[in-house]
Amino acid sequence: MTRIDGHPIRLTFVRHGEALYNTLNRVNADPAVKNDLTELGRRQAAQCRVALAGEEFDAAYCSEFPRARQTAEAIVARHHLLLRIDRRINETGAFAFDGHPCPEWHAAQVPDRFTAELPGCEAFSLFKARLASFLDDILARPERNVLIVSHEEPIQIMLGLLENVPDRDARARPINHCTPYRWQGRGIEREK
């Protein structure tokens, strides 16, 4: 992944605010499921908007999920940006576990999240490939200061790709709700 024009780029990643399923410890893998921000999540998004008020974003992207869109809309309201929705930065494809308790999804991936093949779920390799495709496209665009609102695991993996960190280490990084995580560079090299 290398920035084509060689100019610096700054990516700001934000995990959505707290949503209903977070409070219920449930999996939400379908963007059509109503899973809006909680009152706390709306406050988190508003606080993030204030924290990022000095940023001059050139572009803003979010996943298809309502909780990500609601968070992104709160942040970009003052920036007057068109919010671009991109399914490649959607939540992990745990489709067969949608609505189930999170511990069931995690237990099904034992012994290894990175090699588990679960019927009705997206394989990790495909999940990572779609995130890499998104980053390749972002790095090829002319924008230099980009907001990306997504979910915990997609942000972990995208930061890992950008920093050339092994997946296991990338997944160990906690990604808090509505906390900006920034990456800046001229691009990086990554094995294809």
Residue 44 lies in a domain: yes
pLDDT of residue 16: 98
Residue 2 lies in a domain: no
**CATH code: domain of residue 45:** 3.40.50.1240
Residue 191 lies in a domain: no
The strand order across the sheet containing 59-62 reads: 83-85, 59-62, 145-150, 9-15, 180-185
Q: Quick one: tokens of 69? A: 């869109």
Q: How many domains does the chain have?
A: 1
pLDDT of residue 68: 98
Residue 87 lies in a domain: yes
Distance CA 1, CA 183 (A): 14
pLDDT of residue 5: 60
Distance CA 74, CA 14 (A): 12
The tens place of each residue's pLDDT in the chain, 192 residues long, gives 345 566 789 999 999 999 999 999 999 999 999 999 999 999 999 999 999 999 999 999 999 999 999 999 999 998 788 999 999 999 999 999 999 999 999 999 988 999 999 999 999 999 999 999 999 999 999 999 999 999 999 999 999 999 999 999 999 999 999 999 999 975 433 333
Residue 156 lies in a domain: yes
pLDDT of residue 191: 30
Distance CA 29, CA 65 (A): 9
Residue 4 lies in a domain: no
pTM of the model: 0.93
Distances (CA, A) of 41 to 37, 44, 51: 5, 5, 15
Cis peptide leading into 103, omega within 30 of 0?
Answer: no
Give the residue among 151, 148, 139 at the shortest CA–CA distance from 190: 139
| Domain membership of residue 150 as a residue range | 9-185
